[in-house]
Amino acid sequence: MSGLTNSKATIVTPLHSTRAAEAPSAAPQTSDAMIEVRHIDKTFPAKNRKTAPVKILDDVSLSIADQEFVSILGTSGCGKSTLLRIVAGLVAHDGGEVRVAGQRVSRPVPEIGVVFQTSNMLPWLTVRQNLLLGTSLRKIPKEKSEPRVAALLEMLGLAQFADHHPHELSGGMRQRASIGQILALEPKVLLMDEPFGALDALTRDNLNVELLRIWQEHRQTVLLVTHSIEEAVFLSDRVIVMSARPGKVEQEVVIDLPRPRSPQTIKQHPRYAGYIAQLSQLMGVY
């Protein structure tokens, strides 16, 4: 697990012990990080003469190790989604730099896949065709892409719906297919912006289990933006807590729970409730 380099951050280790600027002894060095964010600032310009520019991010630095699963929590408007888009190369930043796999990121690159809250499947294509679309655009040979997509459809529980169109699927199935679209491209890094936020609680819980199973099998580096403390604890190796706007990395909590995880075991674990309470306090829930 990787430590933060932002001097304003505090690392919170299990449980309730706070140590400033001290990472766990097992943390990899910065040079081993898959994602490196260094001193990122972002200000959106004024919309008109009557409004002022809005600073969204202020000197944000963080480091995420290869194959690590990290979640970002923060209040609405703190800039966590903007930060994710900056890491993806979709939004320009004003200062600092982002590196993925050692390479500076300033635009979308094949190593990064992004899953948003809403499905981006084309309605006139079937599920299988949607999953194959990106591989076709990347000019991945059919003899490689078609078996890969077939395996993904099986893994995602969508094989029986491969020839259905998006409107014939439930919301949860569409989100699984959206994840499949990205996994078909075999990115090194998976960025997820509230991918299950629009779903009902039961479907969201079920998809959290599916996401964890997918991650445990494929082991991409994952950065997840979420409003759900329970989701962050269940899925993550670390949870990064951002301040209110302008967003800064205020604290991180290392989630010391065993893997592989299942709801039956983890939610009964004696430390699980402690992490929920700890993050709730940090977020000002109570």
Is 205 a member of any domain?
Answer: no
Q: What is the mean pLDDT of residues 270-278?
A: 94
Q: Is residue 93 part of a domain?
A: yes
Nearest-angstrom CA–CA distance, 264 and 241:
26
Q: Residue 229 falls within a domain, yes or no?
A: no
Per-residue pLDDT at 207: 86
**Higher pLDDT, residue 269 or 120:** 269
User: In the predicted model, what is the mean pLDDT of residues 103-118?
Assistant: 91
pLDDT value of residue 195 = 87
CA dihedral (265, 270, 271, 272) positive or negative: positive
End-to-end CA separation in angstroms for the chain: 28
Q: Is 261 part of any domain?
A: yes
Q: How far apart are CA 242 and CA 16, in angstroms?
A: 18
Q: Which residue has the tokens 């991650």?
A: 215
Residue 184 domain-assigned?
no
Q: Is residue 124 part of a domain?
A: no
For the chain, percent of residues with pLDDT exceeding 90: 64
Tokens (6 digits) for 72: 């970002």
Radius of gyration over every alpha carbon of the chain, rounded to an integer in angstroms: 19
pLDDT, tens digit, 9 for 90 and up, residues 222-270 = 999 999 999 999 999 999 999 999 999 999 999 999 998 988 889 899 9
pLDDT over threshold 50, residue 95: yes
Quote the CA–CA distance of 141 and 24 in Å, as a whole number: 43
- Domain with 3, as residue range(s), is 1-19+26-45+52-108+241-286
- pLDDT value at residue 12: 52
Q: Indicate if the pLDDT at residue 24 is higher than 70.
A: no
Q: Residue 66 belongs to a domain with what CATH number?
A: 3.40.50
Cβ atoms 136, 173 nearer than 8 A = no
Kindly indicate the confidence band of residue 202, based on its pLDDT and cuts at 50, 70 and 90: confident
- How far apart are alpha carbons 67 and 50 in whole angstroms? 46
What is the rounded CA–CA span in Å between residue 57 and residue 233?
24
Position 216 scores a pLDDT of 86
State the total domains in the chain: 1
90 found inside a domain: yes
> What band does 88 get if pLDDT is binned at 50, 70 and 90?
very high
- Output 10 or 209, whichever has higher pLDDT: 209
Q: In what order do the strands lie in the sheet with 54-65?
A: 54-65, 33-44, 95-100, 103-104
Strand partners, 140: none
- Residue 198: pLDDT band by 50, 70, 90 thresholds? confident
Region at 128 (left for phi over 0; alpha for psi -120 to 50; beta for the rest): alpha
Confidence (pLDDT) at 5: 42
Percent over 70 (pLDDT), the chain: 89
State residue 28's pLDDT score. 37
Q: State whether residue 277 is helix, strand or coil.
A: helix
What is the layout of strands, in order, in the sheet containing 69-73?
17-20, 10-13, 249-254, 238-242, 69-73, 221-225, 189-193, 112-115
Model confidence pLDDT, tens digit, residues 28-81: 344 579 999 999 999 998 888 888 889 999 999 999 999 999 999 999 889 999
**pLDDT single digits (tens) 129-152:** 999 999 999 999 999 999 999 999
Residue 204 lies in a domain: no
CA torsion sign for 139, 140, 141, 142 is negative
